[in-house]
Amino acid sequence: MYSSLKENIDYLKRETSSSADFTVREFTLGGSQNCAVLTTEGMCEKEVLATSVINPLLGCECGAKRGEELFRFLFDSVLSASEVIEVKSFDEVFSFIMSGFAVLAVDGSARMAAVGVQGYSFRGVTEPESELVQRGSREGFTEAMRVNMTLIRRRMKTPKLIFETFTVGSESKTQLAICYLGNKATPSSVEEIRRRIRACDIKTVLGSGYLVPYLEDSGKNEIFTGVGITERPDTLCGKITEGRIGIIVDGTPSVLVMPHLFVENFQSVDDYSNRPYFATLVRILKYISYFAAILFPAVYIAFVTFHPEYIPEVLLKNINDSIEHTPLPLTLEVLMIDFIYEIMREAGLRLPKVLGHAVSIVGALVIGDCAINAGLIGAPTLMAVAVAAICSYVIPDLYPQITIMRLSFIVAAGVLGIWGITMLSLVVLIYMCSKSTLGVNYISPITPFSKEFMRDVFVRMGWKKLSGYDMNVYALKGGSKYEK
């Protein structure tokens, strides 16, 4: 930066193209010393700005101090805000101004002072719609990173809880924070996440999903991800208690969790609030629904087309009567219904709620009744796809993966029957077994098998047994390559 106040202000105005929300408040101290306060309109709390910056400056007695001496006097003795940071480059100036800070510039000094007076509007704390629970907290993360950090701190009142801030995006300058327990998370894994964040060369980060490919071990967009997402503070606190690392991205309520295991998609907060026997029943239903959502239409095609001898005679006759009156082959018919269902889902999801109900009613009439009566589709085929669609909503976190795999299994079953399903299942299983995040196997503790950690996979044991062992994921059998 320059020592001249005029040159500094001219440079900032030139770089921002004199943007309408970039404000400069110039004034004189001691009758001759020029100063300026730089802010972004709408990002600062005006009352705090006046009481912590403007009024103390206008009321101070600076005497004959000039340049660097005056800057140091104002920095140490006049500015009354709790957060005052020395700034030495224009990049830092832009970052602070656009984050809600007020920046003080003094003529004759090549340094500036950033004062924390943030006061921009944000959505209040509400219950997250994507992770509803019957028994538990009704608080969810918001778009403001500092508020999210506070929600975590309220639940984890320990000095071992650590937050570290970073800036990503060469143009968006998005702030993010990683949070972890210093006595639980493996230091080498924390350092690896730091390295991946620093190596992120993306220009704009508008959501947490932008960072997922950069955080994966492979660095690619894969069908399954080892980076989890949650909007619940209590869920995140439970994860970091187990040694996980949370990544809070400013501007989005979705917080990333690493490493994320496959079995965690079938767990919810309600599992640990209900009695163990009921939580176990619900969890088993989730696993059954997962496999039904993927395989039910494919198995239906394989049995009807290639292996009808496995179907009871009465049921086979009804299916045959239904199919022979439809114009399309069975595989194409199932694919058509599945595509229509996905179109209806997207329409209902993107439209306003009032119109969304209308789409549901029209879809039920068109697909459920008229199409069958017109002989375009068969009732058993529609039922097979409908059952799979309903089951896919039981595990919402895996809905994208379920949709892609269901279509793949339908095609495999239509070409090779049960053998196509078997071969594709082996490919998926090998892929899942080979995947890892931060050196932790994606389907741990199933493989490598750990009897101790199976207490919370298919069966949810009581709290007296769950609390009797350390659930740190890095201590899983086989360990982490970063730990080694």
Work out the percent of the chain whose per-residue pLDDT is above 70: 92
Tracing tokens 């089951």 back to the chain, one arrives at 391
Return the SS3 of 395.
coil
Q: What is the pLDDT of residue 218?
A: 74
Higher pLDDT: 138 or 297? It is 297
With 0-12 / 13-18 / 19 or more C-beta atoms within 10 angstroms meaning exposed / middle / buried, residue 258 is: buried
| Half-sphere exposure for 280 (CA within 13 Å, toward CB) | 11
pLDDT digits (tens, 9 = 90+) for 457-469: 888 887 777 765 4
The whole-number average pLDDT for the span 134-146 is 86
Q: What is the pLDDT of residue 297?
A: 94
DSSP-derived letter for residue 118 is B
The whole-number average pLDDT for the span 222-245 is 90
- Ranges of each domain in the chain: 5-116, 145-271, 275-434
The whole-number average pLDDT for the span 86-106 is 89
Can you give the C-alpha Rg of the chain in angstroms? 29
pLDDT digits (tens, 9 = 90+) for 319-374: 888 888 788 888 998 998 888 888 888 877 777 766 666 666 666 666 667 777 77
Q: What is the pLDDT of residue 367?
A: 66
> Is residue 33's pLDDT more than 90?
no
Q: Which of 184-188, 263-267, 373-377, 392-396 has the lowest mean pLDDT?
A: 373-377
The whole-number average pLDDT for the span 226-239 is 91
Higher pLDDT: 112 or 59? It is 112
Q: What is the DSSP string of 298-347?
A: HHHHHHHHT-GGGS-HHHHHHHHHHHTTSSS-HHHHHHHHHHHHHHHHHH
List 257's β-bridge partners, or say none. 228, 246
DSSP-derived letter for residue 264 is G
pTM value?
0.81
User: Angle between the 145-155 and 233-241 helix axes, to the nearest 10 degrees?
Assistant: 60
Return the SS3 of 10.
helix
Torsion angle, CA of 226/231/235/236, rounded to 10 degrees? 70
pLDDT band at 63 (very low <50, low <70, confident <90, very high): confident
Return the amino acid letter for 273: S
pLDDT band at 148 (very low <50, low <70, confident <90, very high): very high
The whole-number average pLDDT for the span 4-9 is 90
